[in-house]
């Protein structure tokens, strides 16, 4: 069983594994506990047991860095909240930047997978991220302290 958010990657792996026998792809975001539970239920239904499992999310350093930013944001916000600065972070999802747009143009499977990952059904724009940043910088967000604002079309919901 290949569990991956990226259909294109899974298809490549399935082709390589075909010589060994049957293999299946199950779309899953391993950061979503409910999705992992659905994966486990599917494995049990198909095979009745699980012999081995490993997680290769493809970005331990990137993931650690993201969590480091979140931790630093929240710690600094707590340390300095009484003095007045509001320290927050923005966590954008898939945003229509030149690298993302080029990647999606080059690979239709990637484009479909990225779009499917976002419950809104599309990727965000730089203007949407900018609007969130402007809100965080405004008095309208005066009670936001240590906030990590996800601008991701529902990806992390």
> Per-block average pLDDT, block size 10, for the chain (157 residues)?
80 79 82 85 86 59 84 94 90 92 90 91 94 92 95 91
What pLDDT score does 31 carry?
Answer: 77
Positions of CATH 3.40.50.720 in the chain? 76-151
| Amino acid 87: pLDDT | 92
Identify any residues that bridge with 150 across adjacent strands, giving them in sequence order: 91
State residue 92's pLDDT score. 93
| DSSP 3-state of 107 | coil
- CATH H superfamily, domain 76-151: NAD(P)-binding Rossmann-like Domain (3.40.50.720)
Tokens 């298809």 belong to which residue? 11
Active site residues: 62
d(CA 104, CA 118): 14
48 φψ region: left (φ > 0), alpha (ψ -120 to 50), beta (else): left
Check residue 58 and give its pLDDT. 58
Q: Which two tokens stand for residue 140?
A: 């309208």
Per-residue pLDDT at 54? 54
The pLDDT, as a whole number, for residue 4 is: 80
């Amino acid at each position: 069983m290949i569990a991956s958010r990226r259909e294109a990657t899974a298809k490549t792996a399935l082709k390589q594994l075909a010589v060994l026998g049957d293999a299946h792809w199950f779309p899953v975001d391993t950061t979503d506990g409910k999705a992992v539970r659905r994966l486990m239920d599917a494995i049990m239904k198909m095979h009745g047991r699980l012999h081995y499992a490993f997680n290769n999310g493809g970005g331990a350093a990137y993931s650690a860095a993201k969590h480091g930013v979140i931790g630093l944001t929240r710690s600094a916000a707590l340390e300095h909240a009484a003095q007045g600065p509001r320290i927050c972070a923005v966590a954008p999802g898939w945003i229509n930047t030149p690298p993302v747009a080029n990647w999606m143009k080059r690979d239709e499977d990637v484009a479909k997978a990225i779009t499917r990952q976002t419950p809104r059904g599309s990727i965000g724009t730089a203007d949407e991220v900018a609007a969130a940043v402007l809100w965080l910088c405004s008095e309208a967000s005066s009670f936001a302290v240590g906030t990590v604002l996800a601008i991701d079309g529902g990806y992390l919901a």
